[in-house]
Structure 1
Amino acid sequence: MRRTSSPFSLVLLGIGTFLLVLAPMLAWYVAPRAAVNPIDVDTTAVYTGTGSVFDTERIETVPDRRITVTQRVRADVADSERSGHAVWDVVTTVDTDGSLPAADPHDALDFTPHRWVMDRTTTEPVHCCQEHPYIEGEAYLKFPFDVQKRSYRWWDNTLGGTVVLHYRGTEKVQGYTGYRFTGTVPAARTGTRLVPGSIVGQPRRPQVAAEEWYANHGIELVVDQRTGRVIHAQTGPRRTLRAPGGQRDAAVLLDSRKLAFTDATQREAVRQAKRDSGLLRLVGETLPIGAAVAGFVLAVTGGVPAVRGRSRRVRPVAPDTPGTALTK
């Protein structure tokens, strides 16, 4: 007779085998599909600082004004579902204490609406769905998932082009560690604006198509490595006007060495980064490793008795050999 293994050992073997198969599926199939940009985002980031602004009532630049930049990002769910991409509508306003609080963002010192469309997995720009402007580069508002220790081409919407941000090590924000990137923007012409000639040093001309110029004293971003979420941002914009063909700034519209995330914006960004990063770590690392270890233990625990049960046999007792008959 053959001694069979117990049903319990076979159950353990089956569960262990299932977990061993599940582990690589979680790591290589489920985790990459969990790292996608949302189509229902609704966030607000606030920057504050001091600097010079152009007072339209006094028709001159005034220094040492408190400046507040508010950036509202809301997803267009319908267009996102229709296109399969993440469609985000962005409204950026610049205010002084004189224009805050404002019931209508159009009353701000500066009001800039635009639409960003990106691939949900790679975060690369996608050109569809009434995107405006034509956004390029590798990152804007957020970095791709799994941020690397290298330079990235960041879209600067005021510049209307990309800025190279260089990796500068790590930095803690609200006790949470992220990758730090920095860059600057040299003065560049960004467009024209009709203004009274007196503003750009041409008082005899009632209106002039003045040149708009933009530079940035310094961009600094701290980014969550796993999700690409920006947990701290700092910028130093300088926007000026020049007479047509002029070589020097004739009027300063905005100039600040440092506009940075408020503490409340930092805390919210860190909270979301911890949550999303934790979920990705759970699916991509914790669960696969746990499943692999548990699967191996259960497979061994159930497999060894099963193998032994098959190999062991009860040897039959050999019958007595009859003796040779004696004859007379």
Structure 2
Amino acid sequence: MRRTASPLSLILLGLGTFMLVLAPLLAWYVKPRAAVNPIDIDITAVYRGTGSVFDTEQVETVPDQRITVTQKVRGDVEDSERSGRAAVWDVTTTVDTDKTLPAADPHDALDFVPHRWVMDRRTTKPVHCCGETPYIEGEAYLKFPFDVHKRSYQWWDNSLGSTVTLHYRGTRKVQGYTGYRFTGMVAPAKAGTRLVPGAVVGLPDRPQVLAEEWYANHGLDLVVDQRTGRVLYAQTGPKRTLRAPGAKKDAVVLLDSSKIAFTTETQKKAVQLAKRDSGQLRMVGETLPIGAAVTGFVLAVVGGVLVVRGRQRPDTTETPDTSQVPVMM
């Protein structure tokens, strides 16, 4: 007797082998290529809080004002595709009080800052091309890299024009969704200059003065989705002042708030997007590979057993005995 493998056993063995090969391929090849920053992004984040702002009509700082910060991010698809591996995002940040809202033109806001951020789509590190302005550095800005670790990160602060160290502070829930929390602060630092009437900075005898603009932050508080790096919650405490050239003390406060944070609507939208994107990455990087590995192992074992057992068949083919059959003449 000899044994031959059945077609079913070969199919099971082949399918199991394929699934075992597919599992690491999904985890180590497909997932890294799925974890990329989009080039067609179009999102808006709104922050709200209270604080003091400089009223240009009254020419003085007015306290207890409601402050709204609106940050719009739109991807430049054409420039992104032309760059190769970079995502080109155009960002506008407006600061308003109730007096300037709603504004038909963002230039009518209390403050309006446009800039362009270019990053590597996979690592989120800055890429210096495609009309980037300003020259952005650090490890994160607007979002963290994929697969966030429990360590400190260098976060770009556009108001400061430099990076700020954000320290890992454990986890925190945002709208019922758990993320990694990072905090930091900014000591007063000169952030630029601004041409203003001399009287604004205590120099009434001079028509115009190139005043020093100083910036500080009472506290940055971010909660980030671990898998995607998306910011779920952001809180900032900006303080911007003007000083006379070479002065050691602030002459006027332009903006001062201890807390301006994501609105509830912005938090919910960020969590919704994080759940969707994180779920897709988890499926490609964990669920499907584990499922493929388990299924492949089972199929390969069953197929292998069937191949080893085979089907019994005789070794020789018997011919009928014709000795008793009469011969017809």
**Length-normalised TM-score, structure 2:** 0.94
**3-state DSSP class of the match of 1:51?**
strand
Q: Displacement of 1:202 after TM fit?
A: 1.0
1:73-84 pair list within 5 angstroms: 73-84=73-84
1:1-328 pair list within 5 angstroms: 1-84=1-84, 85-309=86-310, 314=314
Q: Displacement of 1:204 after TM fit?
A: 1.2
> 2 CA distance for matches of 1:118 and 1:136?
10
Q: Displacement of 1:6 after TM fit?
A: 2.0
**3-state DSSP class of the match of 1:3?**
strand
Aligned length in residues: 316
**Mean CA deviation greater in 300-309 or 75-84:** 300-309
> 1 CA distance for matches of 2:198 and 2:3?
103
Counterpart residue number, 2:323: none
Counterpart residue number, 2:324: none
> 1 CA distance for matches of 2:294 and 2:313?
32
**3-state DSSP class of the match of 2:57?**
coil
Which sections of structure 2, spanning at least 5 residues, go unmatched?
317-329
Q: Displacement of 1:34 after TM fit?
A: 0.6
Q: Displacement of 1:313 after TM fit?
A: 6.8
**3-state DSSP class of the match of 2:279?**
helix
**3-state DSSP class of the match of 1:153?**
strand
> 2 CA distance for matches of 1:315 and 1:121?
61
Name the amino acid aligned to 1:71.
Q
Q: Displacement of 1:219 after TM fit?
A: 0.3
**3-state DSSP class of the match of 1:98?**
coil
Name the amino acid aligned to 2:212.
E
> 1 CA distance for matches of 2:9 and 2:193?
79
Which sections of structure 1, spanning at least 5 residues, go unmatched?
317-328
> 2 CA distance for matches of 1:197 and 1:11?
86
Q: Displacement of 1:203 after TM fit?
A: 1.1
> 1 CA distance for matches of 2:17 and 2:162?
53
Alpha carbon RMSD of aligned pairs, Å? 1.3
> 2 CA distance for matches of 1:314 and 1:203?
114
> 2 CA distance for matches of 1:314 and 1:293?
37
**Mean CA deviation greater in 64-73 or 10-19:** 10-19
What do residues 134-164 of structure 1 show as CA deviations (whole Å, max 9, x unaligned)? 0000000000000000000000000000000
Q: Displacement of 1:224 after TM fit?
A: 0.3
> 1 CA distance for matches of 2:315 and 2:197?
110
Q: Displacement of 1:314 after TM fit?
A: 4.9
Name the amino acid aligned to 1:26.
L
Name the amino acid aligned to 1:150.
R
> 2 CA distance for matches of 1:63 and 1:74?
33
**Length-normalised TM-score, structure 1:** 0.94
Percentage of identical aligned residues? 78
> 2 CA distance for matches of 1:104 and 1:209?
27
